[in-house]
Amino acid sequence: MSCAFFCHRLSFCCRFRRIHKSPYYFKIFNQLNFSVAAPAHLCVMENTKSIEETILTYTSAWNETDTDAIRQKIDQCWATNGTYTDKITDTITGRDAITNLIIGSYEQMGPRSFKVLAEPVTHHNSGRFRWLAIRPEGYPIEGMDYFEFDEQNLITRIVGFF
């Protein structure tokens, strides 16, 4: 039987590579020789980064201080024509623009640490995730980003709220 069959029957979503936490599902997957620990398995999306990985890559780009390191991460998670906007930023488009925004925010705010607070919630190529930015003096800023993504799980749009 195909992976898609088992993915459907066991509530395993190939697109997002999530499984229910029940030991029953782990037992079935182990009997079928599907790897539960490793996200890549026998499905069509095997070579595609999960949206969770994409969001983690995106937020980790905000923790970088080097332009090349930021751009490398943006290239991994951002669609060529991806857009970004928030309450203080007009809509910007493209990888260069988001890279420059990250660099500019670092120059304005100084060092800070971004982290995702909860797993992204997604449906129909859109979703949201909560994040926390902490500055060295301990001042926290909590926010939420609405995002859209394409078939390769690259971000095509982010609207930030904080």
Residue among 156, 129, 134 nearest 145 (CA): 129
Q: What is the mean pLDDT of the chain?
A: 79
Position 136 pLDDT exceeds 90: no
> Rounded to 5 degrees, what are φ and ψ at 73?
-70, -40
- Render pLDDT for 139-152 as a digit per residue (tens, 0 to 9): 899 999 999 999 99
**How do the domains of the chain map onto residue ranges?**
1-47, 51-161
pLDDT score of 26 more than 50: no
pLDDT, mean of residues 6-11:
38
Share of residues in the chain with pLDDT > 90 (%): 62
- Contacts made by residues 130-133, CB under 8 angstroms, sequence distance 24+: 131/59, 133/62
Closest CA to 159 of 134, 133, 128, 132: 128
Q: What's the confidence (pLDDT) of residue 28?
A: 42
Amino acid 75: pLDDT: 98
Neighbouring C-beta atoms of residue 135, cutoff 10 Å: 13
Q: Is the pTM for the entire model greater than 0.75? A: no
pLDDT for position 48: 52
Q: Pairing mode, if any, of strands 126-134 and 121-123? A: antiparallel
The verdict on domain 51-161 having CATH code 3.20.20.370 is no
Q: Which is more confident, 10 or 54?
A: 54
Buried b (16+ CB within 10 A) or exposed e, 70-81: bbebbeebbbee
Phi then psi for residue 74, to 5 deg, are -60, -40
144 against 8, higher pLDDT: 144
Residue 108: pLDDT band with limits 50, 70, 90: confident
Q: Which of 108, 119, 99 is nearest to 141 (CA)?
A: 108
Best-predicted range by mean pLDDT (2-6, 33-37, 135-139): 135-139
Say whether pLDDT at 79 is over 50: yes
Please give the Cα distance from 105 to 65 (Å, whole number).
10
Assess whether pLDDT exceeds 60 at residue 42.
Answer: no
